[in-house]
Amino acid sequence: MSDASKKVLLVDDDVDFLEQLKMRLEAMDFEVLAADGETAAYELLKETRPDLVVLDLMMEHMDAGFNLAYRIKKMDKSIPVILVTAVESQTGMGFGTGGWLKADAVLAKPVRFEQLKREIQRLIN
């Protein structure tokens, strides 16, 4: 499988959602790095360059997800970033993928795994 040993960084402060995503992606033979917050994500990013990042936009600080997305893109523009957010469904506020944030995909929470899987496969190959 071409996805084998590709590294996916998951960042979400919902530890159960994080665990569930991890299990599912591991079942697809991805190597999964899970971070339950900004700090943990920065630690992991020091040592590893992931092939893709799935990032929850709203963590304990309102702008944690934005900062992280920005830092990752600044570090390496070619790393695809998928933003996961409940904000769109809660406020009707759209982010899109063409804005300053330059996310490669934006998914609304609750995320259907099939949809996330499609986006990951599209972006990682």
Partner 1 sequence: MERLRVLVTDDEPGMTAAVERVLKDYCVSLSGVTGEVGFEVDTALTGEEALEIMEQRSPDILLLDYKLPGISGLDVLDRVTAGEAETLTVMITAYATLETAVSATKRGAWDFLAKPFTPDELKSTIRKAAGSVILSRQARRLAAEKRMVRFQFISVLAHELKAPLAAIEGYLHIVNDRVSGDDLAAYDHVFERCMIRTRHMRKLVMDLLDLTRIESGQKTRELTQTDIVEAARHAMETAEPEASQRNISINLEAPDSVLMRADRAEIGMIFNNLLSNAVKYNRDGGSVTVALAEEDDTVTIKVADTGIGMSKEEVDRLFDEFVRIRNERTRDILGSGLGLSIVKKLALLYGGRVHVESKPDAGSTFTVTLSKQPAPDPVQLADTAS
24, 95, 108, 124: which one binds partner 1 (CB under 8 A): 24
Q: Does 60 bind partner 1 (CB under 8 A)?
A: yes
1, 4, 27, 93: which one binds partner 1 (CB under 8 A): 27
Helix H or strand E encompassing 31: strand 31-35
68: left (phi over 0), alpha (psi -120 to 50) or beta: alpha
Q: How far apart are CA 43 and CA 11, in angstroms?
A: 12
Q: Does 37 bind partner 1 (CB under 8 A)?
A: yes
Q: Does 15 bind partner 1 (CB under 8 A)?
A: yes
Q: Which of 35, 10, 45, 6 is nearest to 124 (CA)?
A: 6
Q: Does 110 bind partner 1 (CB under 8 A)?
A: yes
Q: How far apart are CA 53 and CA 65, in angstroms?
A: 11
Contacts with partner 1: how many residues (CB under 8 A)? Answer: 16
- Footprint on this chain of partner 1 (rule: CB under 8 A): 13-17, 19-20, 23-24, 27, 36-39, 60, 110
